[in-house]
Amino acid sequence: MNIGFVGLGIMGSPMAANLVKAGHTVTGYDLGAERVERLAGLGGKGAASVVDAVAGADVVITMLPDSPQVEEVAPLVVEYGRPNLLYVDMSTIRPETSREVARRAAAAGVRALDAPVSGGERGAIDGTLSIMVGGATEDVEAARPVLGSLGTTVVHVGPAGAGQTVKAANQLVVGGVYGLVSEAIVLLEASGVDPVAGLDVLAAGLAGSRILDLKRHTMVRREFAPGFRIDLHHKDMGIAVAAAREAGVSLPLTGQIAQLMAAARAQGHGSLDHSALLKVIERLNG
C-alpha cells in the first residue's frame, strides 16, 4: 500500500521502517528533517509537509506526542486525503479527542481508527507491539495487513475512543509496576541484599513482568536512556485520571502514580526513561 506516516520520533521511526521492510511505499513527515532523511535512507520517501505525506496515500498513520498535535494534523489528513482513506492514529491521546476525530472524519468520507500501542521502543523496533484498536469492525479488518507489520498483538477493543481508554489502563498499570519495582530496589539495597539477585528471582516468579524482564538490570545500574520519557508518561497519567473522572470511578493507586510521575518531572527527570521513577523513590528515602 501507499502509506503516509506523520511523526517519526522514538516510536514512529522504527515503525515506519518496519512498514518499508514489509514492502509498503512509505512517505514520512516529521518536524525534524534528519528523521525524514533517515527514513529515506532506509528506502522510504521524504515529505516536505503533512499534506505532502497524505497526498495519494491509501493509509495515513500518525504517531504524535499528544492531543493538541493530533488536533492540528487530523484536519489536514481529512481535507487532503483521498476518498475512503483509512486514517490510523497511533498516538496516545484523550479518548474524547479520538471520538471527535472519528466523527469529523466520517463526515468527510474518511475511515478513522484510534490504535495506540504498548511495547516501547524495543517493541517498535522488533515489530512486536501490542496494538489496541478502536473503530468500526470493517475498518479494523482493512487495517490489519498494515498493523500486522507493526505488532504481534492487534485487538479490536471497541468503537472510536476505546483504543485510547485501553491505553490509559495500560499506562496506569505500567506506571504502577515501575513504582513497585523502584520500591523493591530501594528495599533490597537498604537491607543489604544484592538487588540483581533479588530481582532475578522476582522476575522468574509470580511477580514477573515484561518490565522486570526488560528493565531490571538497567534500573539497578541507574541507566535511564529514554525508551519512553517521563514527560510522556506524565501526560498519559493525566489522561488516565481524566478517563476515571469521566467514567465516575475511583482509582486511588492511579492517582498516586500520577503524583509520582509529576514529581519526577518537577525534579527535572522529564527527559529520562519512565523507569527513572526510581529516582523519586530514592529521593523520598534520602
The catalytic residue positions are: 167
Please answer whether residues 184 and 208 qualify as being in contact, where contact means their C-beta atoms are separated by less than 8 angstroms.
Answer: no
CA pair distance 168, 98, nearest whole angstrom: 13
User: What cell numbers appear for 39 in the block?
Assistant: 527514513
CA pair distance 23, 176, nearest whole angstrom: 38
User: What cell numbers appear for 38 in the block?
Assistant: 533517515
CA 178 to chain centre: 16
- Please provide the distance, in angstroms rounded to a whole number, between the alpha carbons at the two ends of the chain: 55
Please answer whether residues 105 and 93 qualify as being in contact, where contact means their C-beta atoms are separated by less than 8 angstroms.
Answer: no
CA pair distance 86, 82, nearest whole angstrom: 9
CA pair distance 205, 203, nearest whole angstrom: 6
3-class DSSP state of 237: helix
Write out the H or E segment, with its range, that includes residue 6.
strand 2-6
DSSP H stretches of helix in 26-161: 33-41, 50-54, 67-80, 95-107, 120-126, 137-147
User: What cell numbers appear for 153 in the block?
Assistant: 498483538
User: What cell numbers appear for 141 in the block?
Assistant: 479488518
